[in-house]
Structure 1
Amino acid sequence: MQAIVFDEFGGPEVLVARDIPRPGLRPHDLLVHNAAIGVNRADLSHRKGAYGRAYFGDSDLMGLEVAGTVAEVGPEVQGFAMGDRVMGIVGGGAYAEYSRIDHRMAMHVPQSLSLLQAGAVAEVFVTAHEAMFHLARLQAGESVLIHAAAGGVGSAAVQLAHAAGARVFATASADKRDAVRGFGADRFIDYRSEDFEAVVAEQTGGKGVDVVIDFIGAPYLARNVRSLAVGGRMTVVGLLGGAIDSAQLPIDLLLYRHLQIYGTVMKSRPPEVKQAMTQRFAERWLGALADGTLRPVIDSSYPLADAASAHRRMETGASVGKILLVPEGMAAQ
């Protein structure tokens, strides 16, 4: 089968297509003939050497999510059969024509979705649900500030928060205003020309928001904390702006406002944690995907062999929603 590999860490140009054997199945695995493969920022970090030659449970190939058709079924698999359309999270190995996935991290694709659309679901929606509902416990009637709201996880988070009945503040660049408002944001904030802390304070009468979902990291830390209401919760999902900054955590606000701060990543979590995350999302939201309440957001798609171009697109920061890879012959799926 064709897969994307790299012999040394570096820029997108190190990614090359190469024929390798199909992965062997373990008892709980499905072998999936991939129709769409999600590109994630963790893949860029992998390519650059942030994880070394790490192995995350399924393969040392990069790639965290797939959608496709079941080609083989392991002897201990339950609930799936040959030919089923599935989507889900893998511990590496997505950048290939075939991937193995533990069936407990797989989901049936609703009939209303194409396999291409399904490729834009698993990683972003499961991560957004985990950050916003499982950890930060967002409730209907509360307010949430979501940064990087035009990205894959950000666009999913805005949709989920809106569907849950929360008031949504969302930051992104001005050229993405219409898209983010279309996802369900109540107040769009252009991070380049507006101070999100000031906007939140003005819009909430100085109260602040109940939840912050942050992908930026250190540069936003102090302002995020100052934007939280009493009893507020923040989940840090990414570090697009870096991990170290001169801004300091306002410990007094953390103490007197009874705030809680969480961090979450998916790539390096144990399989049983990923399974639980997937199942929590599926139980609450698969029906909303089926009826169109939630919709996968696709920025662009590239042939699997041209993974380098997909990485370059992500590195521009111009994308809205998911970037996908499509194996040869699967474009019509």
Structure 2
Amino acid sequence: MKAITFEEFGAAEVLQLADVPAPEVRPDDLLVRVHAAGVNRADLTHRRGGYGRPNFGDSTIMGLEIAGEVIETGGAVQGYKVGDRVMGVVGGGAYAEVARIDWRMAMPIPAALDYVHAAAIPEVFVTAHEALIHLGRLQRGDSVLIHAAAGGVGSAAVQLAYATGATVFATAEGSKLERVVQLGADHAIDYKTQDFAEVVAGKTDKRGVDVVIDFVGAPYFARNVASLANGGRLVQVGILGGGGDVSVGLEQILYRHLQIIGTVMKSRAQTEKHAMVRRFREHWLERFAGGASLEPVVDSTFALENAADAHRRMESAANVGKIILTMRERT
């Protein structure tokens, strides 16, 4: 099969199309003919050597989410058969014509969706649900501040927050604010020209928001804490702006009853990942049916052999929503 490989860590041009063996099916695996694969920032970190190893434990091929057709099932698989259309999160191996996926990490593709839009769902919407609903405990009538709201997880989080009935504050670059409003943001904030903490304070009469979903990290930490209402939850999903040490007065956490929660899917145990997928599927999957309220946001598509261009697109930060790799028949 064809897949994207790289022999050394580095810039996007290290990615090459190559012939590699198809993965072997284990008892809990579905073998899937991949039609589309999502590109994630974790892939950029993987390519640059940020994880210090060439694989995610399940494949030396990069890529974390797929949509395609089941072509073989392991002996312990339940609920799936050859020919089913599935999407889901894999432990590496998505940038390939064939991939294997633990059946408990897979979901049926709603009939109204094509493979490209299905591939835009698993990683970002599962992550958004975990941060917003499971950990952030967002409820109807609450308010939430979502950073990087035009990105993959951010655009999913805006939609889930809107569907929950929350008031949504969202930060993005100025040219992307209109799209963020279309997705459900009540207050769209240009992070380059506005101080989000001042906007939140002004719009909430200094009360603050119930939940903050942040992907940026240290540069936003103090203002995120300042933007929380009493009893508020800061859920840290990424550190795009940098990690390192941050400081907060313990009195603020104590007397304002604040919670600071971190979440990353990649480093979780497999059983925890199963539970994350199940929670999202039970809560939201039917909302992607025809005419329903949730929309996988696709920014652009690239053929598998142009994976380097897809990475450059993500590195430019110009995308709104997901960047997708597509497979095509080769002779």
What is the CA distance between 1:55 and its match in structure 2? 3.7
CA–CA distance in structure 2, aligned partners of residues 196 and 38 of structure 1: 30
What is the CA distance between 1:131 and its match in structure 2? 0.6
Aligned counterpart, 2:182: 182
Superposed counterparts of 1:1-333, under 5 Å: 1-244=1-244, 248-291=247-290, 292-329=292-329
CA–CA distance in structure 2, aligned partners of residues 93 and 208 of structure 1: 42
CA contact (8 A) 2:27 2:77 kept: yes
What is the CA distance between 1:53 and its match in structure 2? 2.1
State which drifts further: 50-59 or 290-299: 50-59
Counterpart of 2:287 in 1: which secondary structure? helix
CA–CA distance in structure 2, aligned partners of residues 225 and 277 of structure 1: 26
CA–CA distance in structure 2, aligned partners of residues 166 and 258 of structure 1: 21
What is the CA distance between 1:54 and its match in structure 2? 4.7
User: Which residue identity lines up with residue 33 of structure 1 in the other structure?
Assistant: R
CA contact (8 A) 1:57 1:271 kept: no
Q: TM (normalized to structure 1)?
A: 0.97
CA contact (8 A) 2:146 2:168 kept: yes
CA–CA distance in structure 1, aligned partners of residues 142 and 281 of structure 2: 23
What is the CA distance between 1:47 and its match in structure 2? 0.3
CA–CA distance in structure 2, aligned partners of residues 9 and 56 of structure 1: 15
CA contact (8 A) 2:39 2:310 kept: yes
The unaligned stretches of length 5 or more in structure 1 are none
Q: How many residues align?
A: 329
The unaligned stretches of length 5 or more in structure 2 are none
Post-superposition CA distance 1:151-190 (Å, at most 9, x none):
0000000000000000000000110011100110000001
CA contact (8 A) 2:55 2:62 kept: no
CA contact (8 A) 1:214 1:238 kept: yes
Counterpart of 2:272 in 1: which secondary structure? helix
What is the CA distance between 1:328 and its match in structure 2? 2.2
What is the CA distance between 1:272 and its match in structure 2? 1.0
User: Which residue identity lines up with residue 264 of structure 1 in the other structure?
Assistant: T
Counterpart of 1:144 in 2: which secondary structure? strand
State which drifts further: 260-269 or 144-153: 260-269
Post-superposition CA distance 1:9-67 (Å, at most 9, x none):
00000000110010000001000101110000000000000112254342121110000
User: Which residue identity lines up with residue 52 of structure 2 in the other structure?
Assistant: G
What is the CA distance between 1:287 and its match in structure 2? 1.0
